[in-house]
Amino acid sequence: MWDRNLPNGTGLKVFTDGDVYFGEFVNGKMEGYGEYFTSDGKHYEGEFVRNVYEGEGTEEWDDGTVYKGGWKAGKKHGNGKLDLANGCSYEGGFKNGLFEGKGTYKYEDGKKYKGDYLKNKRHGYGVFTWPNGKIYEGHWVNGKQHGGANCKRGGTEVETEWKKGELIKT
């Protein structure tokens, strides 16, 4: 349906670059629930506000990567889960498309980090575990171990001190 020469209601739009949108329009803008297919193989299904992803939605890449969660101004924002094509996954907070706040990152080889993130890096308190049972429990700054921490392996626990990722005291 058209109103004042602008699409309103459910419709289909094919862009000059080959992208395709099917969903709701309000005053000519993608607004409400819809699906967006890019010419490079991405597919988004979810909420739109003024032509951008906003609210809850799922984006899938042609390599198998999938993100499901919150969006704001076209970027991952709020809580979500990202399953990467390489077997790794992240579940937790996002801000402006980056890991932010509390989250858990699982590596394909069984390692896991659960803790604080700032701008895509481990930052604050967190626990890193290895498949062999080794554990680092302590503080991180800019993606590196920093400050006092407990390191555990088997039944042994050692208090350690780290600076910018380097062990300086056991």
User: Span 22-34, mean pLDDT?
Assistant: 97
**Which pLDDT value is given to residue 170?**
83
Q: Kindly tell me if the per-residue pLDDT of 63 is higher than 90.
A: yes
List the domains of the chain with CATH numbers: 1-108 (2.60.450.20), 123-169 (no CATH)
Interval 111-167: pLDDT, tens: 999 999 999 999 999 999 999 999 999 999 999 999 999 999 888 999 999 999 999
What is the model's pTM?
0.91
Tens digit of each residue's pLDDT (9 = 90 or more) over 7-16: 899 999 999 9
Strands (E), the chain: 2-3, 6-7, 9-14, 20-26, 29-37, 43-49, 52-60, 66-72, 75-83, 89-95, 98-106, 112-118, 121-129, 135-141, 144-153, 156-163, 166-169
Three-state DSSP string of 60-92: ECCCCCEEEEEEECCEEEEEEEEECCCCCEEEE
Examine the pLDDT at 45 and tell me if it is beyond 90: yes
